[in-house]
Structure 1
Amino acid sequence: MPPSVPPTGTKNSYCSTSTSSTSGTESSLKKVEPTEDVLQDVERSEAGSSRERLELSRIRSGAVDMDLDEQEEELQRGMSRVDTKNPDVVGWDGPEDPENPFNWPNRKKWRITLIAALVTFCVAFASSVFTAGISPIAAEFQVSTTVATLGLTLYVVGFATGPLVFAPMSEVYGRNIVYIGTWIPFMLFQIGCALSKNAATLLVSRLICGIAGSSPLSNAGGTLGDIWTPAERGDAMSFFTLAPFMGPVFGPIIGGFLTEYVSWRWTFWLVLIISGVMFIFLLFCLPETYSKTLLERKAARLRKETGNENLHAAHERGGVSHMQRFGQSIVRPVVMLFTEPIVFLIALYCALVYAILYMNFVAYPIVYQEERGWGMGIGGLPFLAIGVGMVCAIATSPWQTKLYLKLTAERGNGKIYPEGRLPFSIVGAFCLPVAIFWFGWATLPQVHWICSVLAGIPFGFGMVTLFLCMFSYLVDSYLLYAASSLAANTLLRSLFGAFFPLFASRMYIKLSPRWACTLLGFISLAMAPIPYLFYKYGPALRARSKRTF
């Protein structure tokens, strides 16, 4: 059994303290075999607090000569020797420290969750609201519809590239500076889109908007992991997961009516207005949540108050600068994508589902506007059925949480049990191919339109259930690297979502919606067993990883 952090009775209020009560605590630098109470205490600790306690152990043990990967590995597994006599390491003042984000009031946590969801909704909404204007843009700028569709592609390509920088930045410099620093160009280049005089200006502005707007997609999950314990995280993740999918649902509807009755340029003015309101929330209502950044600030405050310049957060020792940490973190999402089977397979599956969602932005206009003769605004209303399915998926959240807690109690042995997040995803995975086959063959001209519209309900349900469970599974499995694992997911998912719509139009026209959906349905069916495989073999896969919990 690997050594862990023994209970300490240190008297210095600056240092992290254990939740276990012991007497006669040893303060020597020997390895200590942890008691069952200590193991359970560490295992119940969430990402921020456990991270700091393990880092404190590393610094106290003098483990500062390892490279960053070795330090992170030791940090993850708690393999440290402990010196309880270092009075200069600043940590949380016990398990009930009100400055620890896990101890913040639920009212404050839900406010943060709401803001994170709203900014994510805004970014996702901006991606799909553009699709309603593809044909008018092509006509105005005298380009092909494929070139006009690049406005969607480049925006979603920004989703893929931005998190490679913004997720590591949030793990080095904190969440807020990334949110605010990227939101400003996201707003400003909406103006560039609205006032563009040619296709080149519009496409470049859309790319920059996509890059700048990508930070909430990868960092908001990390924000939720900063403040919610695993037992509480299910409901918060359910609410948050709805945002990036409801945005694409409402985008074509609102964009369709704006384009039909006002102008396609007003889709960007609307996004500017919404993002301006969100900027006020980010600036004044969203506190910093990242544990390392908060401890750095606490150490700085204590240095100023006490005059003791030796006070420091645990991770500020060992000669590891911000740039070194950033340099390692910036490649971590790509490394995890290709070296972690869990991250890769989940990213691949989510990418396929995400691509099908974005292909619907092409398929629905063909089915309802071209084949059935509906207008732009009315032709976007069938997306509401997908939204209904999404809401139904979120409504299952209390049952998902209860099942997770039950499975954790039965199989977790006092630890977090990430596989407890997956049972509902097994159901959702098989809802997707059913919905795709249903939609495709219900588009026959002699079939009433309501039949194809209703197919959106199981699609929305399956998609959100799958993403909700998979995102929670990633966060629980990669506590220290939650933002990086989500960034890897966002990278592949966004690439699929960006490029699939480019050939979707030709595919749906040449194959017909029926056979195009049949092809996608069989691909989806082939990948449907993935959640079950993780549910059964996930613990073994996690045991072989250096980065999982």
Structure 2
Amino acid sequence: MSEGRHEDESQTRPSGISTDVEVGAAHAIQPPRLENGEKRTDTEADGQNDQVELGSSGRNTTQEKPYSVFSTNEKRIIILAGSLAGFFSPLTSSIYFPALGTIAKALHVSNSDVNLTVTTYLILQGLAPMVIAGFADNMGRRPAYMLCFTIYICANLGLGLQNSYAALLGLRCLQSAGSSGTIALANGLVGDTITSEQRGAYIAFASLGGLLGPTLSPIIGGLISQNLEWHWLFWFLLIFSGVFTVPLFLFLPETCRKIVGDGSIPPPPLNTSLTDVIRHKRRAKRGLVFDAAEQAELRKNYRFRFPNPLATLWILFDPASLVILVATGLNLACFYAISTGASAAFRDEYGFNDIQIGLVFIPIGVGGILAAFTTGKLVDWNYQRHAQRLGITVVKGVRQDLTDFPIETARIQVALPILLANGVFVIAYGWTVGHKISLAGPIIFLFFLGYCSIASYQVMNVLMTDLWPGQAAAATAANNFIRCELGAAASAAIGPMSKAFGQGWAYTFWALIYMAFAPALLIISRRGIQMRSAKKAREDKRSARRKEKMNRKG
């Protein structure tokens, strides 16, 4: 069976949890159980010597078909492009924060009313990817990007022209629906091209857009709202997205494995970019012919289906995934509470203007960028440490059946200490800003909050992709749903709570809830393999019942 077909089947499993946890960088179970036994004939693959070591028995090594035919540089460019496309979601959210007070005055509404536009934005930010993820897994990444940016550009045009609170509230929801889908799509690109042992190394590329948002957008928002009329926030987003969309549509290749397999199958016309045309012509000249039978098999399932969020909802019903998602969501709920409350807190307590409020967000972004370039190495190191402890050899760039590999333990050991530390920093931030301690205090804690929030989110997001390798976009959409809905609750509640109890107790409340839940991850760490095995057994029983029913009907 070809790798493309295998991936297609894995994506249509009801529960999505695959027993084929992806591996590869220096070691593989002895002997390695590959998903296919095809000899590697495509030297384009990963730009590296991907040899499979069969052990120390003295047998000759053979080259196996890689997970993706895209070269290392092509993977980096693809993931970077998807990450920058995902930049528009945090950009659109964060550019708004410094101007909340200005917009409230301009529209003659209260700060709570304007904060409601943040809450509704986050609600749609959680719901929209659930629809987009299903669409992207069926129709491909490129059509999904086209849909997202079309909606986003139209919403920005409307926001630039409106002058009422009702229009602002409604169009912000539409704006969120367009921009937030790109987050799930970016992680879909990662799942299409990267195996588990490499994901730590690619964290910086995959996270760049999300990191630039909290860093740059509040500064941009502060400069615009301070020096121009607040509508220019949306005119700026309209112009910027329009300029970015043109090269994205022209050059981003299709990577969805249900459509192009490992990248060797030419995509349908709607999914074809200029780079796809050029790349496949070059492959043909080198004699690298694609498998026509595999292409025909992939095309059987290529048809428009109305976007269905059931794949994402199914992930939410998986107990292990739900624990991981809630822990991640509570972590980011604290982050959103701080981001939303910072505008009022620094304006009221320190007398800051819009530009100064924007500058306050720089430490968050700096901490996040540092997390991206350090967390990945830690994630990969712990992965290899467990492989060596178990006597496992990892085959670079090849997915393998590692049913008994403790992937949950390898990831949670990195994430849990960071999660708990982040709760401490949330409490410290709340009390320092609430008591108007020297500005250095909250600024330092914002840096550590940025580091811990982003680092823990990255590791947990990697774990979700590990557990759902055939449904990376749907897994990210589920992650997005939980974190945004909890973030919306925290954003809506932090203002009234701060007024009623003070900044210190308000942030302590959220941090304690989050820290009390985090140890539940230890259960997943210890019982992850058993939970995956039980889930696989239930999947096999359901599959057997379906086949039996089909045979009876036949």
TM-score > 0.5 by shorter chain: yes
User: Do residues 162 (structure 1) and 100 (structure 2) align?
Assistant: no
Q: Which residue of 2 aligns with 1:381?
A: 359
Q: Which runs of 4+ in 1 moved over 6 A?
A: 72-78, 299-302, 308-311
Q: Which residue of 2 aligns with 1:28?
A: none
Partners in 1 of 2:146 and 2:304 — Cα distance? Answer: 20
Shift of 1:412: 8.0
Matched to 2:187, the amino acid is G
**2:342 aligned to 364, 367, 379, which one?**
364
Q: CA contact under 8 A between 2:141 and 2:256: conserved in structure 1?
A: yes
Partners in 1 of 2:187 and 2:7 — Cα distance? Answer: 22
Partners in 2 of 1:247 and 1:74 — Cα distance? Answer: 31
1:251-262 alignment runs, 5 A limit: 251-262=217-228
User: Do residues 398 (structure 1) and 377 (structure 2) align?
Assistant: yes
Cα gap change, 1:485/1:299 in structure 2, threshold over 3 Å: closer, same or farther? closer
Shift of 1:525: 1.8
Q: Which residue of 1 aligns with 2:103?
A: 137
Partners in 2 of 1:240 and 1:110 — Cα distance? Answer: 9
Specify the SS of the correspondent of 1:103.
coil
Q: CA contact under 8 A between 1:115 and 1:281: conserved in structure 2?
A: no
Shift of 1:332: 1.4
Q: Which residue of 1 aligns with 2:76?
A: 110
Q: Which residue of 2 aligns with 1:331?
A: 310
Q: How many residues align?
A: 471
Partners in 2 of 1:247 and 1:92 — Cα distance? Answer: 43
Shift of 1:437: 1.7
Specify the SS of the correspondent of 2:433.
coil
Partners in 2 of 1:530 and 1:245 — Cα distance? Answer: 28
Partners in 2 of 1:544 and 1:497 — Cα distance? Answer: 32
Q: Which residue of 2 aligns with 1:263?
A: 229
Q: CA contact under 8 A between 2:104 and 2:110: conserved in structure 1?
A: yes
Q: Which residue of 1 aligns with 2:164?
A: 198
User: Do residues 430 (structure 1) and 430 (structure 2) align?
Assistant: no
1:266-277 alignment runs, 5 A limit: 266-277=232-243
Partners in 2 of 1:258 and 1:348 — Cα distance? Answer: 36
Partners in 2 of 1:74 and 1:266 — Cα distance? Answer: 45
Shift of 1:147: 2.3
Cα gap change, 1:394/1:521 in structure 2, threshold over 3 Å: closer, same or farther? same
Q: CA contact under 8 A between 2:333 and 2:490: conserved in structure 1?
A: yes
Matched to 2:296, the amino acid is A
Gaps of 5+ in 2: 22-35, 46-65, 270-279, 394-400, 541-554
Higher relative contact order (CA 8 A, sep 6+): 2
Q: CA contact under 8 A between 2:219 and 2:359: conserved in structure 1?
A: yes
1:232-247 alignment runs, 5 A limit: 232-247=198-213
Shift of 1:74: 12
Partners in 1 of 2:149 and 2:160 — Cα distance? Answer: 17
Q: Which residue of 1 aligns with 2:495?
A: 505
**1:350 aligned to 325, 328, 339, which one?**
328
Partners in 2 of 1:74 and 1:255 — Cα distance? Answer: 41
Cα gap change, 1:278/1:408 in structure 2, threshold over 3 Å: closer, same or farther? farther
Q: Which residue of 2 aligns with 1:32?
A: none
Partners in 2 of 1:77 and 1:355 — Cα distance? Answer: 32
Describe the superposition over 1:175-217 as per-residue Cα deviations: whole angstroms up to 9, x where unpaired. 1110112212201211211111211222221111111112211
Partners in 2 of 1:459 and 1:189 — Cα distance? Answer: 32
Specify the SS of the correspondent of 1:102.
coil
Shift of 1:173: 0.8
Describe the superposition over 1:221-246 as per-residue Cα deviations: whole angstroms up to 9, x where unpaired. 11111111222222213432343244
Partners in 2 of 1:473 and 1:491 — Cα distance? Answer: 16
Q: Which residue of 1 aligns with 2:507?
A: 517
Describe the superposition over 1:459-491 as per-residue Cα deviations: whole angstroms up to 9, x where unpaired. 112111111111111111111122212111111
Specify the SS of the correspondent of 1:545.
helix
Partners in 2 of 1:194 and 1:174 — Cα distance? Answer: 31
Cα gap change, 1:542/1:413 in structure 2, threshold over 3 Å: closer, same or farther? farther
Cα gap change, 1:548/1:260 in structure 2, threshold over 3 Å: closer, same or farther? farther
Cα gap change, 1:403/1:77 in structure 2, threshold over 3 Å: closer, same or farther? closer
Q: Which residue of 1 aligns with 2:296?
A: 313
Shift of 1:514: 1.2
Q: CA contact under 8 A between 2:433 and 2:503: conserved in structure 1?
A: yes
Partners in 1 of 2:366 and 2:266 — Cα distance? Answer: 45
Gaps of 5+ in 1: 6-15, 17-48, 59-67, 79-90
Specify the SS of the correspondent of 1:313.
helix
Specify the SS of the correspondent of 2:253.
coil
CA RMSD in angstroms, aligned pairs only: 3.3
Partners in 1 of 2:513 and 2:16 — Cα distance? Answer: 37
Cα gap change, 1:96/1:510 in structure 2, threshold over 3 Å: closer, same or farther? farther
Cα gap change, 1:495/1:412 in structure 2, threshold over 3 Å: closer, same or farther? farther
Specify the SS of the correspondent of 1:214.
helix
Cα gap change, 1:270/1:116 in structure 2, threshold over 3 Å: closer, same or farther? same
Matched to 1:512, the amino acid is G
- Higher alpha-carbon deviation: 147-156 or 210-219: 147-156
Partners in 2 of 1:104 and 1:197 — Cα distance? Answer: 48
Q: CA contact under 8 A between 1:242 and 1:390: conserved in structure 2?
A: no
